Amino acid sequence: MSDHYYTKNPHTKSEPQQWTTVLRGRNFAFTTDAGVFSKGEVDFGSRLLIDSFTEPGIEGDILDVGCGYGPVGLAVASLLPERIIQMVDVNERAIKLAESNAAKNGIQNVKVYPSDALESVDTEEFAAILTNPPIRAGKETVFKIYKEACSRLAEGGELWVVIQKKQGAPSTEAKLNELFGNADIVEKSKGYYIFKSKKH
């Protein structure tokens, strides 16, 4: 398999880039790097997920699965300072970037650590889980994230997923309906869908 972002230790030569952007009305400064998903800007799907997300109605931590260099988790942490946002990724280069980006932006209500899907996640129940799933890793990996997320949500907790139609939105919708019994389309734009499934 060629070296891509769903890799524990990317061998791609490190080429850090720094840039700024606005997410949900707040300025962020990010450092990104080669071997990490969407290194030059916040990708459209992540931005749509950030803009669409609403705070869950139940208490508890929120989890960002496949956090990359951190835009989704850090934006949510900035919006919801009273909550802990846990951020995980299999890619250790991404984890280091997410940690440094949290510090750079003065965001302290986050816990960033490596995990393949939810394997290394200790928290039993989350209020919400967000993911821009690693499509390049294949459907089996993506569906594993959905399944593990379903088992780790509290009653009334929500899974939020962004996915492109051409990269598997219909099969994601079917899988979420199978796991949760519901899959609401919260938003769709430029071929991207935001699904929200609630655990009952």
Report pLDDT for 39. 65
Is residue 146 predicted with pLDDT exceeding 60? yes
**pLDDT value at 3 more than 50:** no
Average pLDDT for 4-33: 84
CATH class of the domain defined by 17-198: alpha beta
Q: In the chain, what are the domain boundaries?
A: 17-198
Cβ distance 141 to 6 under 8 Å? yes
pLDDT 10s digits, 85-121: 999 999 999 999 999 999 999 999 999 999 999 999 9
- Choice among 1-15, 36-50, 108-122 with the minimum mean pLDDT: 1-15
User: What is the mean predicted confidence (pLDDT) over 44-62?
Assistant: 98
Q: Between these two residues, 122 and 40, which has the higher pLDDT value?
A: 122
* Distant-in-sequence, close-in-space partners of 45: CB < 8 Å, separation ≥ 6: 132, 162, 163, 164, 192
Q: What is the mean pLDDT of the chain?
A: 94
For residues 159 and 161, what is the distance between their CA atoms, to the nearest angstrom? 7
Alpha carbon 128 to its chain centroid, in Å, reads 11
**Lowest-confidence segment of 32-46, 49-63, 89-103, 115-129 by average pLDDT:** 32-46
Predicted local confidence at residue 71, as pLDDT: 98
pLDDT over 90 (residue 1): no
